[in-house]
Amino acid sequence: MSPSANPTTTECDLKITDLTVEYTSGDYAVRPLDRFNAHVHSGELVLLLGASGCGKTTLLSALAAILTPTSGSIRLGDLEVVGLRRSALTHYRRQTVGVVFQAFNLVPSLNAVENVMLPMRAAGVASRAARARSTELLEQVGLGERLSHKPGTMSGGQQQRVAIARALVHEPMLVLADEPTAHLDYIQVDGVIRLLRDLAQPGRIVVVATHDDRMVPLADKVIELSAHAAPESGPPESVTVAAGRELFRQGDPGDRVYVVDGGEIELVQMLADGHEDLLAVAKPGDYFGELAPLFGLRRSATARARCDSTVTTYAIRDFRAIVHPGSVADLITRAADAQSDGNG
């Protein structure tokens, strides 16, 4: 098919394959998404669930073609999104995807109808047709009596409904919502959640990034992007690692703590230019890697054997009992210190 066309099938699945996004933070390379995969069926409401900083907005930006991934594929139906350029990219952003922003992004000086008309007028739709379409959509989202109201005279929930109506002007096959309930009270949340649920229907996918687990019961699929704190118990395991081999890589989820029995383990952070920064060398009796399993974080450094080495891995509870008996506070303090050193 032509790269400038919309996906042609009404049952358009979304397939994300090996998606990686890398950016520079100071001198270090950060990967909020590392070989991420997902398959979403047409008609589904999908939640990207997780705390701030876990990659939810990054993924939405890639799906909206606002951000270009480092590598990987995003396919909507038979359209490959990654790599779209010029007119094909503009067409995708205007016609195929609709974005509902967390902060509403309404123009204060325009009323509800005029705010919804904006993307249609930008696309060259005649004023009369744009106004008729805008009125139709606002009535669809329950704002038929607020057509002439400006944002400052509407509640947060009503403003969010205007933003949703604006995202639907071109009947997009993919609707993306970034924390749509973040600024709403519990009364307004109910209406917005149910509206998003109703938007997911054959021929359209709705993807919502949120940390609000109140939406979970209405979702067809939940993708949790935050790493979870590791189980506290589990038998210790002895591991032999050859020189040059890695125990874990920067960005990996963490579930165990390591104590060096023999040899040496170097802890390095990967820099944006491809080089490495040596943070520390763990020798017999030293431990490392406690921060990630304790707090449900990703590894902040790579652990690699400098020579043939042996380590024992522990679950958090066993490690705490062996290294710091009865002192959870001490362990947390040491873990926080380790984060500043990059030993997570």
Span 273-285, pLDDT tens digits: 778 889 999 999 8
Distance CA(161)–CA(152), nearest Å, equals: 14
Residue 321's pLDDT is what? 75
Pick from 104, 4, 101: which is nearest to 60 by CA?
Answer: 101
Residue 3's pLDDT is what? 38
Grouping H, G, I as helix, E, B as strand and the rest as coil, residue 188 is: helix
Write down all domains in the chain, each with its CATH number in brackets: 14-224 (3.40.50.300), 237-341 (2.60.120.10)
Query: How do residues 37-73 score in pLDDT, each as one tens digit?
Result: 999 999 999 999 877 777 889 999 999 999 999 999 9
Dihedral pair phi/psi, residue 227, rounded to 5°: -70, 145
305 close to 244: Cβ distance less than 8 angstroms:
yes
Task: Count CB neighbours of 72 within 10 A.
Answer: 18
* pLDDT > 70: percent of the chain: 86
- Going by DSSP bridges, is the β-strand pair 71-76/79-80 parallel, antiparallel, or unpaired? antiparallel
Of 149-153, 258-262, 272-276, the poorest mean pLDDT is in: 272-276
| Longest alpha-carbon distance in the chain | 77
Residue 339's pLDDT is what? 46
Query: How do residues 283-337 score in pLDDT, each as one tens digit?
Result: 998 999 888 887 767 788 899 999 999 999 998 878 877 764 434 444 444 444 5
- DSSP codes of every residue in 92-139: IIIIIEEEE-TT----TTS-HHHHHHHHHHHTT--HHHHHHHHHHHHH
Residue with tokens 């979702």: 219
Residue 342 has pLDDT above 50, yes or no: no
Residue 55's pLDDT is what? 85
Residue 15's pLDDT is what? 96
Structure tokens at 248: 């874990």
pTM score above 0.85: no
Query: How do residues 13-37 score in pLDDT, each as one tens digit?
Result: 999 999 999 887 767 777 888 889 9
